[in-house]
Amino acid sequence: MAGRNHLYIPGPTNVPNEILNAMHIPMEDHRSPVFPKLLTPLLQDLKKIFRTETGQAFVFPATGTAGWEIALTNTLNPGDKVLIYRFGQFSHLWGEMARRLGLDVEIHQETWGKGIPLDRLEARLKEDTQHEIKAVLATHNETATGVTSDIAGVRKALDASIHPALLFVDGVSSIASLDFRMDEWGVDGAISGSQKGFMMPAGGAFLAFSQKALKATETATFPRCFLDLRDQMTSNKDGYTPYTPALPILYGLRKALDMLLEEGLENVYARHFRLAEGTRKAVAAWGLKICAQPGFESDTVTAIMVPEDKDARDVISTAFNKYNISLGGGLSELAGKAFRIGHVGDMNDVSMLGAIAGVEMALLDTGFDIIPGSGVAAAIEYYRATAK
């Protein structure tokens, strides 16, 4: 099919040409005296995206899933109790990983469409007077449902109960696109990956840890080797890595950081809000509902529910086969019930309108009773009114 495949999934996201070009490099000697000139400023600048001055940033040749494991195995001991709220496929998988690693996982089920219930979290932490809970695992942006949780609120709950648990945050689909403040929110481990807000191919796990978490690496008894933060710290200190770095990922990250910092993080967050808001206006004009309940709407991904007599998989396959656009499917409990539009990364008003128009055509083709042009019109009006 001529033209591009239009990628409107919430990761991997569209890679800007500048980043593709930056990654197209010959290999070089990663033990050379000049290699630290690449790595040291890269790790320093990565901290700016996490909004941490006191923490330390890390790059592993891995993905977000490894980031979950790095946080858990480097700071905890087998059998430690961790608390997690499960409200979508990604929070489910993180809790499942913790269980498989041998942690004592306390899982609280939450409605898919809602995020972390702060009042209940605070009550549970207050009840834990013996401080058996060693870490709270918070999924900032649940990509499966398009739900954003209030991490500042999680910190407040921990502080209100004077609880010393570590706070680990999965920010794979939020960091570098949604407001995220590691220091201000007292996050001990922030986990991200290259293929969403960072606009790169998969293959980089980007992380930041607080001094408290780094201290915990000294006593944690989980076996770990490839993912050992201590080895990274020892090598990173001099500008090197403990094993062969994924050079294209490092050069791609260099370009991605330059682009994000040049745009300015506040502008990046505002752009994602506008992209999301235009999408939500279109969904409302179609008369459809989003999965996220009020107050939890994500600015990086919208999960759209279809009526019971419809199968969201038909919308996705029609969009792909007929119009060459890729949408996200409903995961697990939402299979067939929802489709997802990603509005994260290298996107602007017009690329977003491509997604909205493509979805609208696929909805019409699959028998949805919507007015042609209604979603596009709603989004156009919003984008026109709010464009600078």
Ligand X SMILES: *Cc1c(COP(=O)(O)O)cnc(C)c1O
Q: Which residues bind ligand X (CB under 6 A)?
A: 11, 63-65, 90, 139, 141, 143, 170, 172-173, 193, 202
Nearer to ligand X, 35 or 60 (CB): 60
Question: Which residue's entry shows tokens 């991997």?
Answer: 12
Shortest distance in whole angstroms from residue 290 CB to ligand X = 17
Cα gap 13→263, rounded to integer Å: 18
Nearer to ligand X, 55 or 88 (CB): 88
Nearer to ligand X, 51 or 340 (CB): 340
Cα gap 234→236, rounded to integer Å: 6
Cα gap 248→336, rounded to integer Å: 37
Contact predicate 150/116, CB 8 Å:
yes
Helix ranges restricted to H, 128-246: 151-160, 211-216, 229-236
Contact predicate 60/213, CB 8 Å:
no
Shortest distance in whole angstroms from residue 64 CB to ligand X = 3
* Residue 207, φ and ψ in degrees, nearest 5: -140, 160
Cα gap 110→90, rounded to integer Å: 13
Shortest distance in whole angstroms from residue 220 CB to ligand X = 22
Shortest distance in whole angstroms from residue 314 CB to ligand X = 24
Nearer to ligand X, 64 or 252 (CB): 64
Kindly report the number of other CB atoms within 10 A of residue 300's CB atom: 27
Shortest distance in whole angstroms from residue 141 CB to ligand X = 6
DSSP 203: -
Q: In what order do the strands lie in the sheet with 325-329?
A: 6-8, 325-329, 338-342, 301-305, 289-290
Contacts of 202 (CB under 8 A, 6+ apart): 12, 63, 193, 194, 195
Nearer to ligand X, 224 or 310 (CB): 224
| Closest residue to ligand X, based on beta-carbon distance | 64
Nearer to ligand X, 197 or 375 (CB): 197
Shortest distance in whole angstroms from residue 185 CB to ligand X = 17
* Residue 170, φ and ψ in degrees, nearest 5: -80, 110
Contact predicate 347/15, CB 8 Å:
no
Nearer to ligand X, 141 or 366 (CB): 141
Shortest distance in whole angstroms from residue 297 CB to ligand X = 16
Nearer to ligand X, 52 or 149 (CB): 149
Shortest distance in whole angstroms from residue 100 CB to ligand X = 15
How distant, in Å, are the alpha carbons of 71, 153, 168, 194, 372 from that of 189?
A: 6, 16, 5, 17, 46
Shortest distance in whole angstroms from residue 316 CB to ligand X = 18
Q: Say if residue 36 is preceded by a cis peptide, omega within 30 of 0.
A: no
Contact predicate 355/341, CB 8 Å:
yes
Nearer to ligand X, 143 or 366 (CB): 143
Pairing of strands 166-170, 133-139: parallel
